[in-house]
Structure 1
Amino acid sequence: MTSTPDTTLPPDVRVGVIGVGQMGADHVERLTARIKGARVSVVDDYVRETAEKVAATAPGCRVAESWQELVAADDVDAVLIASPGRFHREQATACIEAGKPVLCEKPLAMNPEDAYSVVEAEQASGGRYVSLGFMRRFDREYAELKDAIDAGELGEISILNCKHRNAHTLPGFVDSMMVYDSSVHEVDAIHYFLEEPIVAVQAVLPVPGPRADGGQHDPMLLLFRTESGRIVTDELYVNTDAGYEVRTEVLGSRGIATIGTGSGRVTTHLEGARWGGAIPPDFRPRFLDAYDAEVQAWVAAVRDGSHVADRSATAWDGYLAAAACEATETALTSDGFVPVTTRPRP
């Protein structure tokens, strides 16, 4: 069924952006320079100087006195949240209550209980308002792999092998942040590819690498078990000093597919940061097109009144990710598999 465009909206969807640090500023630049059918009308940041600097890069944009003012503003049709995760629950709920579509960067909330409250708020509203910023769902390779799985091209899927590597992290990037900031993307990828919940997780902590920060366990290996018994491995290595790499390998009864290798073989070397091939320094070059596609699809969904694009992660996906991450954090100090506990979907 095709949605009817919301003719009450102006020609360009007026987007308010909450939080304009690195990620938020990237989104403002994206909406201003590359996204069709939208413009940034209002921004907010707890550092006023930062907000004013970013607002100056978007024609016709103003700075709000608070995020609450931004959500309620008449010149804001939809909201993009890029503030720190501890504010997401309250801000996303406010957008739902204001009847404004929201694209919220992950996480939806810092714990399953808060994430579930957002799901309940959306359910109570009678509408669909929340899109969650798991941009990999809009990556070309991820989309192609998802389509191959759904079409049965690979047969029965038994194992997913995931790898998530960063060149380095900022000081204080502790084990729990490896879960909530890094592994959370693989957690959502499991739900996206397999369309079934994670029921248990185990952590294996090798000897820390030479660049591990303080008590950080880096590299780290996580094992996830899904409802049907499939196993997913997630290798995290966030201080490789060799660039940013994200790979996924799917083992099926009729074939094996791998994404994220780039063109040809790539060999990395820690000493001297030498490599053969091209490895981006961080996540932005690797997923630039995915972010653009995600935001463009969101704007189109806001325009046609559906509010949530077909491939987008929802508030429920955010809750499932929060539940899996909570269990994963427990697994860091536990032996064997830790169960993932979830509540029924409202």
Structure 2
Amino acid sequence: EEFLENTKLELFQDQVFCFTPKGGLIALPRGATPIDFAYAVHTEVGDTCVGAKVNGRIMPLMTELKNGDEVEIIRSKAQVPPAAWESMVVTGKARSAIRRATKAAIRKQYSGLGVRILERTFERAGKKFTRDGLKPVMHRLARKDVEDVLAAVGRGELPSSDVLKAAFPDFKEDRAQASQKQRKEGWFNLRNAAGMLFQVPGRSSSRKSRGARHEEANAALPIRGLGGDLPVRFAPEGAVPGDRIVGIVQPGSGITIYPIQSPSLTAFDDQPERWIDVRWDIDETTHERFPARVSVTAINEPGSLAEIAGVVAANDANIHNLSMVRTASDFTEMLIDLEVWDLKHLNRLLSQLKENRSVSEARRVNG
């Protein structure tokens, strides 16, 4: 009998047994707190826990429970579990429930902010915003439900103007024609590079006479020995408005545009004479997409590629080229050459791809 008693004690030495006020028995790991106890009773009890009585006395929620303790949970419907609780609990159930409740609370805050942003945007457009009005246009916004749309607007992932256009496709915003900006001297356009300005190496930005400026305008602009209207193309990884960009002169073939973060630029570190200052000069009246390359790792199952293409299409982007880099039994890695409006558009699309159930990773490729 003594042997059996010792064996039982050894079996349960890593656990503590506590009681509810009604006599219910709750088994918990050693080191558990009243928060663990609350979540063991029910997730809702844990989410609304604001305090605890242990053996009739109010005790801190971080108190370590002992065998035979009677625990009464004090609750409030206004309570939201603090994220700090996650480091105070020892049970997996409590930890996952706290993480889930914290995420839901943050989402609710973003959703409320999204409502206010959309109400203001719709009011400026002379339209009335309602949640029900968004339900028929979910497919245009590539979101599962209205709450997803509101939270995305609140986080800044989805522009409120996109929601307005989805709800009222025929709506057109009246904008005053932007006045043509006066360019600093030394910057010029090329016909094959709409939306970009190039700076002549060594060209002074000081003020010159009208005659001198007129003479320069009629002359071919020299670029390190090359002149005329040069062909301009993007590097394989592309570049989009919002990127800092630089041009590299390719002797005999024109200028290649690289984003400043491209690792490929290290090959030209010792050739400074080939570098050209370039900046974006986008005309708001023209609609042109720009190239960007992304890597997407997706679950290898029927329909996953269609889902990815659907997300791209729903975000008003275009797939220019697609290639499979690596295919395994479970996952497929692919390189996709996209055409997007700008950096903000690209980041929003990547965010949408990451949220898709078929995608495990989506990132931009540089170099």
TM-score of the aligned structures, taking structure 2 as reference length: 0.21
Q: Which of these two proteins has the greater Rg computed from alpha carbons?
A: 2
Q: Which has the higher contact order (CA 8 A, sep 6+)?
A: 1
TM-score of the aligned structures, taking structure 1 as reference length: 0.22
